[in-house]
Structures are given as structure tokens and as C-alpha cells.
Amino acid sequence: METAVSTIQIAEVLNQLGVSQENQGTSTGINWLSSSNYIDSISPVDGQLIGKVSTTSKEDYELVMKTATEAFKTWRLMPAPQRGEIVRQFGEKLREKKEALGALVSYEMGKSYQEGLGEVQEMIDICDFAVGLSRQLHGFTMHSERPGHRMYEQYHPLGVVGIISAFNFPVAVWSWNTALAWICGDVCVWKPSEKTPLCGVACQNIIAEVLKENNLPEGISCLINGDYQVGEYMTKDSRIPLVSATGSTRMGKIVAQEVAGRLGRSLLELGGNNAIIVTPDADIKMTVIGAVFGAVGTCGQRCTSTRRLIIHESIYDQVKNAVVDAYQQLRIGNPLDEANHVGPLIDTDAVAMYNNALTQVVEEGGQIIVEGGVLSGDGYESGCYVKPAIAEAKPEFKIVQHETFAPVLYLLKYAGDVENAIEIQNNVAQGLSSAIMTNNLREAERFLSHAGSDCGIANVNIGTSGAEIGGAFGGEKETGGGRESGSDAWKVYMRRQTNTINYTTELPLAQGIKFDL
């Protein structure tokens, strides 16, 4: 089967997205600033240099913030449905450029082309969601205890929202935040991952077109680039009331402490150590599909990737054999070739973490039943291709408690009833996504009850990986507690205000207090 886009064709993809091989990495919306320092964007697909992106200096950052804060003064005064119209136009631009942006996501990050297209579709979906939401930013009315008074709540935009995103979803997570922030009346400053900077440049080009066509201030959407030090510009900046950060738990703790130190808000989407519980009443075929895709999709580099398979002892061997058989059918290779199931890890540092996990699980007494290893030779020149591995382990192993951002799946055995499996699942520091495979209604409801899964996402008869736009996305414990995307996640991007109106000629005080003059 022909690949969706070859390395030679990537130049055309970049051209369609307005991305050149040497890009400015700091944008105030339409105008680009320049810098003498650059980030190299290296594709994990073939190890080739895609392009260079300049890093943001402190001086550039100050100009970005000045432009953004000025733009906010105009943007916040536009009625929310009009802001929604701008987001609708952005969604239409994404539809036009879906194939090109999906190909860039695949080539720069390493996920399959279908997953790249799916990520852009998520951007389109959140735009559609936000457009509808722009007419529903409702408050709440309540009765006052004082006669002749009306009392209600309303929501106002915060100001400048800072967004720090991770490499594994280089465009979708930004859009989850920015589409909602925009319709709420906020402006955004985005620092994409330094591992996928060209995806950020491409997205900025697309929204810049929309802003220019509508004669809107360029600072509504701003882009900065660089390493953690550039991210610190935002976390330490009191002009940014909300910082939304996606990444590792280690990074999130640093962001949380820095932002809290200035009494700002942080929205954190951090690590996951997700499990699927497989009970004796599970549909084995569905279990295998959910577990395999959850474990190897995006080469195990999703925050919702399946890390642990908790299987009842009565069906343990049956499930184990079925999953092992499925792994033998996996095709590993260029993710732009739609015949392949698994692409590369993001870089050689990720490969080192993968190798360390396999070494550690054996040292702790586990047994590898599907051998891993780094692939080499024709088609694997980048050194980032690895074999998805499966290990039998115990819940208390340190490596099982840890999130390894790679395709390593741990099989764990449980005995007794579903409460024992739930206890194993919850006994990790992370709390993002969880699932149970069962046709037993009581087991399913127990899993979803107050004493069930402690994760932000809990699924029945589907895997841990993937989420719908309509639901709030996020997790508990060391996952950070943040919520993005659907439901009422929009409220985090706004400030809440209680209003009381006295329409009488008297001024009664609350709680019957008398203060006569």
C-alpha cells in the first residue's frame, strides 16, 4: 500500500500549511518575530531534519504579552456568539487543511496517519462544540433573602490564558483549550512541545488567516517556542491568570507550585497509569481489541494508553494467549503507511526509558512473554522503532506503579470478586483513565460507584484510550485534577461573579443588621 505522504512529499505538505524549513518561532498572531537561536525539528519516522524553529527570547515574550493584553481589551467586548463565529471559521479552515495537517502531525510526532487525521478531526469537533457553547455561557439566578432584590451569577473572561502542550497530541490539546478560551473571551499564548514545534507554527498560520480576514487583533492567538525556560515565562507571569499545562507529573508539580505561588490558576493534565479490569463475564474478543489498541496506539505514548491489564485468575491464561496472539499480527513501520499499526517513539530518550522498563520488570521478578527490542535496518534508521512488549508482573512492582511512556503492557492477576481488582487498579499514584470488561451489570455498576474507580474517566466495555469531545477530559491524584474539552469545562477559563440588584428605595442590610444614620 502506498504511504499517505512520502518524505519527498512532506515539502508540499509544509507548503500547504505555510511552513518553511526555517521558521520564526514567536508570533503575535499575524506578525512573526525573529531570534538567533533555533530548535531542530527531527522526524522520528526517518531521523531527517524537517526544519528549524527560532526560540523565544525574553524581549520577544514581552512583546507577545503586550500584544495579547491589548487584544484582550477588544476581544472581550465582542458578544460571545460573534466570537463563536470566528471559531467556526477556524474549524472550516481546519477542514480544508485536514489532510496536510494530519500528515505533518504523523511525520513530526510519529503517530499513524489515521491517528494524525483523527487528531485534526478532534480540533474540528471542539470548534463545533465551542460554537454551540458560545450561545450557552449561562449563569445562575437565585432568590435573595432581602425583599426587592435580585441575585444572580455570571461569568466573565479571565484575560490571557497560557497553554503548554505535550508532543503526543501536538495540535488537539491546544485546540481543546483555545477554542473554549476564545469563546469565553480570553486570548491565548501557546508554547507547544519543543519536540513538535512545526505543528504549532502550522496551527498559528491557520488561525492567523482567520484573524486577518476578519480584521481582528493579532494578539488573540500568540505562539512562543523553546524549552522549559520559555514555559517559565508564563508560569511566573502574573499577567496570565490561568496556565493550562499538559505533560508529565514531574512537570505539572513544578507548574502548580509556581503558579500557586502568585495565586494564579493552573489546569493540569498529567500522567496516567491506566488499567483495564477483565472479569470472568468479559467478552474476550472485545477485551483483546480494547487492550491491544490501548497499549500500542501512538506507540504507547498517550496519557490514556493502557499500561495494566488486570485479569481474573479463572480466565487469565485465555486472555493472555489471545492478547499475545494479537501482538504477533502487529506491523511496525513508517506511520505514514496505513498498513502499519505501530510507528516510532518520539526520540531516542523515549527508547532508553522503554529499555529501562523492560530491564526493571525482569529485575523485580517479572517475566517478559512478548519480547521487546529496538528495531534497526532498512526503514528503521531513526533508531526510534521498538517492538510492543508484554510482561507478566505483580501490582506492587515499582515499575508497574510508574508510567512508562512506551508500548509496555503489564499483565496482572486477581482472585475473588471485582472489589479486589478495583483495589489493584486504584493503588497507583495516577488517576486518569480506567475501564472494565464485563457483561455483569452488578460488576459494571460497582466499578462506577462511589467506591469504584478513582479515575477521572471510567469506561465499561470500551478501552482506556480515546475520549469524546462532549465529556470533560481529565483525571485525579497525580494526573492533576484538571478538566478540558466538554461538559462545563468552559468555566475554568472564566471568572465567576455574584451580582445583587436592589430595585427598592431602601437599603436593608443582610442578616437583619441595623445601621441607622
**Whole-number pLDDT of residue 30:** 67
CB 222 within 8 A of CB 230: no
Q: Work out the average pLDDT over 244-273.
A: 97
Does residue 353 have a pLDDT over 60? Answer: yes
**Whole-number pLDDT of residue 33:** 73
**Whole-number pLDDT of residue 324:** 98
**Whole-number pLDDT of residue 515:** 73
Does residue 435 sit in helix, strand or coil? strand
* pTM score above 0.75: yes
Q: Quickly tell me which residue has 485534577 as its cell.
A: 481
**Whole-number pLDDT of residue 4:** 57
| Confidence label for 155 from pLDDT (cuts 50, 70 and 90) | very high
DSSP-assigned letter for residue 512 = G
Report the Cα–Cα distance between both ends of the chain, in Å, rounded. Answer: 88
CB 228 within 8 A of CB 30: no
Question: What percentage of residues in the chain have a pLDDT greater than 90?
Answer: 91
Dihedral angle of Cα 492, 29, 82, 498, to the nearest 10 degrees = 30
Per DSSP, the residues of 154-191 read: EEEE-SEEEEE--SSSTTHHHHHHHHHHHHHT-EEEEE
Can 303 be counted among the known catalytic residues?
yes
Name the β-bridge partners of 162.
189, 243
- Which residue among the candidates 184, 303, 384, 455 is catalytic per the annotation? 303
Give 143: exposed, middle or buried? Use CB within 10 Å, 0-12, 13-18, 19+: exposed
pLDDT digits (tens, 9 = 90+) for 67-96: 999 999 999 999 999 999 999 999 999 999
**Whole-number pLDDT of residue 11:** 87
Q: Work out the average pLDDT over 139-163.
A: 96
Does residue 287 have a pLDDT over 60? Answer: yes
pLDDT digits (tens, 9 = 90+) for 414-432: 999 999 999 999 999 999 9
Q: Work out the average pLDDT over 10-17.
A: 91
Does residue 443 have a pLDDT over 70? Answer: yes
Can 371 be counted among the known catalytic residues?
no
- Which residue among the candidates 218, 269, 478, 484 is catalytic per the annotation? 269
**Whole-number pLDDT of residue 10:** 87
pLDDT digits (tens, 9 = 90+) for 363-388: 999 999 999 999 999 999 999 999 99
CB 188 within 8 A of CB 218: no
Determine the residue type at 278. V
Which range among 23-27, 111-115, 197-201, 416-420 shows the weakest confidence by mean pLDDT? 23-27
CA angle 55, 61, 62 (to 5 degrees): 155
Q: Work out the average pLDDT over 256-262.
A: 98
**Whole-number pLDDT of residue 295:** 98
Does residue 2 have a pLDDT over 50? Answer: no
Does residue 356 have a pLDDT over 80? Answer: yes
Which own/partner contact pairs does 251-254 have at CB distance under 8 Å and 24+ positions apart? Answer: 252/478, 252/480
**Whole-number pLDDT of residue 1:** 32
CB 224 within 8 A of CB 42: no
**Whole-number pLDDT of residue 72:** 98
Does residue 265 have a pLDDT over 60? Answer: yes
| Confidence label for 435 from pLDDT (cuts 50, 70 and 90) | very high
- List, in order of start, the domains of the chain with CATH numbers: 10-270+480-496 (3.40.605.10), 274-470 (3.40.309.10)
Per DSSP, the residues of 125-146 read: HHHHHHHHHTT----EEEE-SS
Does residue 7 have a pLDDT over 60? Answer: no
Q: Is beta strand 457-460 parallel, antiparallel or unpaired with respect to 476-477?
A: unpaired
CB 65 within 8 A of CB 239: yes
| Confidence label for 6 from pLDDT (cuts 50, 70 and 90) | low
**Whole-number pLDDT of residue 467:** 82
Per the prediction, the chain carries an average pLDDT of 95
Does residue 292 sit in helix, strand or coil? helix
